[in-house]
A and B are shown apart, each in its own frame.
Chain A
Amino acid sequence: MGNAAHGSNYINAEKGLMSWFTSLDHKRIGILYFVTVLFFFLVGGIAALLLRLELFAPNVNAAGQAVAGAIFKNGDTYNQALTYHGAIMVFMVIVPGIPSIFGNFFLPLQIGAKDVAFPKLNLASWYLFMTGATMAIATMFLNKVDTGWTFYTPYSIRTSASVSLMVAAVFVMGMASVLTGLNFIATIHKLRAPGMTFHRMPLFCWAIYSTSILQVLATPILAITLLLLIMERAFGVGIFDPKLGGDPVLFQHFFWFYSHPAVYIMILPAMGIVSELLTTYSKKTIFGYTAIAYSSLGIAGVSFFVWGHHMYVSGQSELAGVIFSFLTMLVGVPTAIKMFNWLATLYKGSIEFTASMLYAMGFMFLFVIGGVTGIMLAVLPIDVHFHDTYFVVAHFHYVMVGGTLMALMGAIYHWFPKMFGKMYNEALARASFVFVFIGFNVTFFPQFILGGMGMPRRYFDYIPAYEQLNKISTVGSWLIGIGFLIGLVSIIQALRSGAKAPANPWGCKTLEWQTESPPITHNFSHEPHVTEGPYEYK
């Protein structure tokens, strides 16, 4: 990469692989996460394609199922594949994804800081993350885990799989997540450049700030829950096991007390990115800056009190169900506010359809559908029918893939010139969007209908009535696969032979574009002095 720039930058400042693994530079650590998270995304994605392949037709041993039949001898293999798909995608891709890659790289740049508050801790977080990830992958070579990513008791206590190691892995990755969040909160509070008031921060920083609060406050509960699960398996302490009078439903309460806020850990950073992309590519100031900023905090706050909506049919009391349903409706409001603000941002703008903008608009399209189906699921009797069916599967994929992953892809293209100092091929990038977007809808829209028809999730086999829609869904998954493959090709192609990127190719107003591409090691040659908001397009 010697020809990237004449001057020194963070990439060529030091040479050799070891200089990357020992670097305290937030930008280099961001790149470490970038490479590792993309790798895990590939692993989780392959698992997903295999799952869809198996579901191409009912009855795995039937003719025409040769490939799937060879891989999935029985339900066990399938259950293991779905566990790894879920656990990898949640704990190793979507939760760490945007904060660890783009938060690390761009949060200090956007607020005009030289680094995050605790650079050593930042590198330690990556090593913790990798330790946890290695432990999780190691279980694949021991007794493959078959509990699903939720580890529900008492199944997770009884099964002979390596649940303890897997759970310990999630615990360690959780620590990495806590330390990253803590680092970002301190960074935002203490390291903003002169003049960078809270209300002049880019919306991505606001989103990361809300996310970090969730990471710090919710993850410890997951940690203790997982420790207790390990104790349960080792000593049978009886807290989650009915044998000693324990309560398996308590595990669900504890688990969702983390995992519901975790849903917002996954989506809030994506919302931040979409705010950046929409204003950049319409060359127009964001509509309702304050509303978007505070709705992130609002969502974060309310998200702690809605966990019970995962448990309407678990045996919790009717009153609990009613309260959780009500509170869940309240989360819908700040989300709706954001959607309308984004729409209003486009009004009378000057819209350029770069790949990033396409991904941002794809996000809006899919997230609206994810959102309205989320409201449906919050309605008590509707959820009783849809709970644990493919409707839920479709809903959270619309939010997690249609939301978070679309934003992640948009962010990759948006910030690629800054991160690597090279331009990408716009045609290839747009092609990846077209395939991912169409493939996504073909895969997941039929699953709403399947869920309505009553097809339960985590089913290795299904009744013949569900066959047609499952076939369509599987074909869609191939399109998504092609789309992401094109995306990967476009990134590799850009890294190898992309044209040199100017400092500010998109005409952005935020600080990260006011320094060179790629940035110098100390980010800015002069400490920036901020005098106005981040989106003053006039």
Chain B
Amino acid sequence: MSTSKMINGVPVQEHFKNAHHQFDTAKMGIWLFMVTEILMFGGLFVGYAIFHMMYPEMFAEGARFLDWKLGFVNTLVLIFSSLTMALGIHYIQMNQIKKAVWSLAITILCGAIFMVIKYFEYTHKFHMGIYPGNLLDIAKLNEHLTQVGLATVNSTNLGMYFGFYFCMSGLHGIHVLVGMGLITWCLIRAVRGDFNPNYYTAVEGVGIFWHIVDLVWIFLFPLLYLVG
């Protein structure tokens, strides 16, 4: 059973000795969960590597349609958001809750900017007829390419590249959204005054999650936009 007792202003669940014990355990759980997240993306990376080896020219052709500048901006945005997230935790440890709330708010804003840029990238592709897999409309894409005076597409299985692109960036995007939701939850609790330097497990956990999500993007960006 887990009824909580208060020790030094920290709610400690019955089965833990003290706040420190509870914090350590929670952190271990979160890291274990992060291992599963990394392994899950790992599966996608393995698939990417295998098919990149089999069809390098198809991947090169696909990368042509990604705008590395937008990807680069998004990378900067996420790295910056990791910094503000870390600052948020730092300020709670210093008991400067107001500054912490601002840091968390900026982090959410960065997440939102990232998603808006992604939204424009996605809609632009849909506009050109670029969809994942079988749905890729090569005729429409080629028509568009001739109009703007670019070379038409050669690879017949280009759909697979965009299958990878949409699956990898889409799954990552879902994680960013979930992360934003979690940070919002932390922000509300911070405003409510739940956290203090002795008790900030939730922010710490969400912070680890957010850093891992950023880390995944740092691998996705070069693989999708630059390597090609």
Contact = CB atoms under 8 A, between A and B. Distances in A.
Nearest to A116: B15
Chain B: interface size category: 35 or more
Interface in A210-257: 216-217, 219-221, 223-225, 227-228, 231-232, 235-239, 243-247, 250, 254
Nearest to B13: A119
B43 A225 contact: yes
Given A186-B28, A235-B133, A237-B132, A217 B35 contact: yes
Contact of B1 (A115, A225, A244): A115
Interface string A50-78: 00000000000000000000000000000
B61 interface: no
Contacts of B40: 220-221, 223-224
Contact of A216 (B36, B43, B132, B133): B36
| Best-buried of B24, B50, B58, B133 by chain A (most CB within 10 Å) | B133
B126 interface: no
B29 interface: yes
B160 A186 contact: no
Interface in B1-54: 1-2, 13-16, 21, 24-26, 28-29, 32-33, 35-37, 39-44, 47, 50-51, 54
Contacts of B1: 24-25, 114-115, 119, 521-522
A497 B166 CA distance: 60
Interface string A163-182: 00000000000000011001
Contacts of B13: 115, 119
Contacts of B163: 231, 235-239, 244
A25 to B, nearest CB: 5
Interface string B46-75: 010011001100100000000000000000
B225 interface: no
A78 B13 CA distance: 51
A136 interface: no
21 contacts: A24-B1, A115-B2, A115-B15, A191-B15, A220-B36, A220-B37, A220-B40, A228-B43, A228-B44, A235-B131, A235-B133, A236-B132, A236-B159, A236-B163, A237-B159, A237-B163, A244-B163, A250-B47, A250-B50, A254-B47, A521-B1
A244 to B, nearest CB: 4
A509 B42 CA distance: 44
Contacts of B28: 117, 185-186, 189-190
A466 interface: no
B43 A244 contact: no
With most chain A CB atoms within 10 A of its CB, the pick from B1, B16, B157 is B1
Given A221-B42, A250-B47, 11 more contacts: A186-B25, A186-B29, A190-B21, A190-B24, A235-B132, A238-B160, A238-B163, A239-B47, A239-B164, A254-B47, A521-B1
A228 B167 contact: yes
Given A224-B43, A237-B132, A521-B1, A114 B167 contact: no
Interface string B159-178: 11011101100010000000
Interface of A: 24-25, 108, 113-115, 117-121, 178-179, 182-183, 185-186, 189-191, 216-217, 219-221, 223-225, 227-228, 231-232, 235-239, 243-247, 250, 254, 521-522
Prevailing SS type, chain B contact patch: helix
B97 to A, nearest CB: 25
Candidate in A117, A185, A235, A247 with the most chain B CB atoms within 10 angstroms: A235
B205 to A, nearest CB: 11
B135 interface: yes
B134 interface: yes
B159 to A, nearest CB: 5
B157 A238 contact: yes
B159 A238 contact: yes
A182 B29 contact: yes
Contact of B133 (A115, A118, A237): A237
Nearest to A27: B1
B37 to A, nearest CB: 7
A235 B135 contact: yes
B134 A244 contact: yes
Contacts of B133: 231-232, 235-238, 244
A238 B132 CA distance: 9
Contacts of A238: 133-134, 157, 159-160, 163
Contact of A182 (B33, B42, B132): B33
A231 B167 contact: yes
Contact of B157 (A179, A245, A250): A245
Given A115-B2, A235-B132, A521-B1, A224 B44 contact: yes
B125 to A, nearest CB: 13
B134 A117 contact: no
B36 A219 contact: yes
A246 B158 CA distance: 11
Nearest to B171: A227
B83 to A, nearest CB: 28
Contacts of B134: 235-236, 238, 243-244
B25 A220 contact: no
